[in-house]
Structure 1
Amino acid sequence: MDTIVALAKGRGFVYPGSEIYGGLANSWDYGPLGVELKNNIKKAWLKKFVQESPYNVGLDSAILMNPETWVASGHLGGFSDPLMDCKSCKTRHRADKLIEDYVAENGLNDNPAAMSDEEMMQYIKDKG
């Protein structure tokens, strides 16, 4: 790890945060090349997961929020979006969306919101 950090620092990708003041453990500042790399990764991620997806939208909100925000959103109570990878087409899908699409196409009343992650996975395996 020390070799990688030394290489990244030497080439201007990252620097330890507040290094000239003694540093701050586990915090890093991006150097000139690090900023460019981070921006390129961010652009690629936004293109793939927001612009190319009918289910996602972009949102840029504060990281520090009133704790009630996290409670109301379900993040503190066990928030999860179970994902499944299709081995044949090499794409990733949300399990609940796969079930919703299947239910709509087949006129069923099954509700993925009422299913646990395990139940959704089993449902998808059973329906094939």
Structure 2
Amino acid sequence: MEIVALSGIAILAAILAVMLKKYNPEYSILISLGAGALLLWMILSKISPAISQIRELISAAGISGEYGVILLKTLGVCFLTQLSADSCRDAGEGALAAKVELAGKLFIVILALPLFQQIAGSALSLIGGGA
């Protein structure tokens, strides 16, 4: 029932942040960022079984390990981008959050380029255009 602990920490941090925002907005932001980092650490400490399961599924499906690495890196970029953008929004920096989200999307496209190349090569070979 770790979700209960995670939820409790999040609610407690939110209440503290709201209470401090009126008097010390800088501490409010620090509490929010600190709680976010703690929650991320708690979540990442439990992710290894999921990663192992994903690796097993990729191996069982006969898919190249390279694609599994791309998948895991992409998921990491998504999670970090979301955390960073939300933290920027909490600090009142909506424009900065939008830039972080744009950067995350671009990094995902860059990470996926090998997959696009493989798909394009497969499509060309299917239509007879590949060498």
The verdict on a shared fold, with TM-score over 0.5 as the criterion, is: no
Q: Which has the higher helix share?
A: 2
Please report the TM-score for the alignment, with normalisation by the length of structure 1. Answer: 0.31
Higher relative contact order (CA 8 A, sep 6+): 2
